[in-house]
A = this chain, B = another copy of it.
Amino acid sequence: MIVCTGSIALDTTRTPFAVYERQLGGAASFFSYGASFFSKTHLVGCVGDDFPVEHWRFLEKKGVAMDGVQKGGKTFFVDWNYGFDLQARTTNKLELNCMQDFKPVVPKAWRGHDFVYLGTLPPKQQLSVLEQMEDPKFSMLDTIEFYIQNDRRNLDRVVSAVDSVLLNDVEARMLADTPNLVKAAKYVLDLGPKLVLIKKGEHGALLFSKDFILPSPAFPLEEVVDPTGAGDSFAAGFLGHLTQCKTWDVSSYKKAMAFGHVMGSLAVEDFGLKRLASVSRKDIDERFGLYQRMVSF
């Protein structure tokens, strides 16, 4: 049973090849939809009165528990552009709207659940969700450059309080102030988390603990349509797999990373959540098998 929080957004995504307007996006939407392939997922967030009912139903139909989603005002909105490399992103417009003063409330019935995903939000809001949980077995935090640069004190508090931190390579280097990712991971581990996961997009990911480093390549794709949501989908596969493991050891972490790469690679094959909406658990397991055969030797 997973409780997750993060943004629920209306995304306008522009690539040189197409535009996708006011569609369902945001860290918590990607995570909760993706994680629902693995475990019952409970969503804490906020949407505005303008939030299309079909988006709500889309998550609900997947089995996402929506009782932690507050309604009112306007939905968080982002308009961004990708360049021809489909990697660098520029933000044209960002309206926090209902997220501005969002006070997350975890429904009482959910507070005893074992897994918590703190998708990108202001660190204070992430900490509030974590503190409302009774005694989670495993928590994971994601963040963005903005909070590393502008809210470091609160970010450090929540980093120290979680079991694992998910960062991309740029964020890791920025947080630790070193170009070397191995050193950056050690720095973050020293803050408290037992695991640090560094995502490098098409270049794969690295999982660090005090005892091991596990490097893994990404699932190679010929066609990327929209990289939005890749990180949260990765987290959904990683954390999702851990909910299905009886014990956690190097072997289960490796498989969790592989499921992360599978979910991330699926997510980017179409705009927004379109591709994940079209797959079954069987498709996910098939790609997992393909990945394992590519990588293991």
Contact = CB atoms under 8 A, between A and B. Distances in A.
Question: Chain A: interface residue count, which band?
Answer: 35 or more
B222 A295 contact: no
Q: Which of A182, A251, A255 has the most CB of B within 10 A?
A: A182
A206 B202 CA distance: 11
A85 B179 contact: yes
A214 interface: yes
| Total copies of the chain | 2
Interface string A41-85: 000000000000000000000000000000000000000000011
Interface in A235-259: 251, 254-255, 258
Interface in A212-248: 212-224
Nearest to A208: B220
A68 to B, nearest CB: 34
A17 interface: no
A292 interface: yes
Contacts of A157: none
Contacts of A200: 203
A204 interface: yes
A292 B294 CA distance: 13
Q: Counting chain B CB atoms within 10 Å of each CB, which of A181, A186, A204, A297 scores highest?
A: A297
A84 B182 contact: no
B294 A215 contact: yes
Given A254-B297, A258-B297, A297-B255, A215 B206 contact: no
A284 B10 CA distance: 52
A149 interface: no
A297 B296 contact: yes
Nearest to A215: B217
A183 interface: yes
B179 A206 contact: no
With most chain B CB atoms within 10 A of its CB, the pick from A212, A219, A296 is: A296
Given A216-B217, A296-B295, A204 B206 contact: no
Interface of A: 84-86, 179-183, 186, 200, 202-204, 206, 212-224, 251, 254-255, 258, 292, 294-297
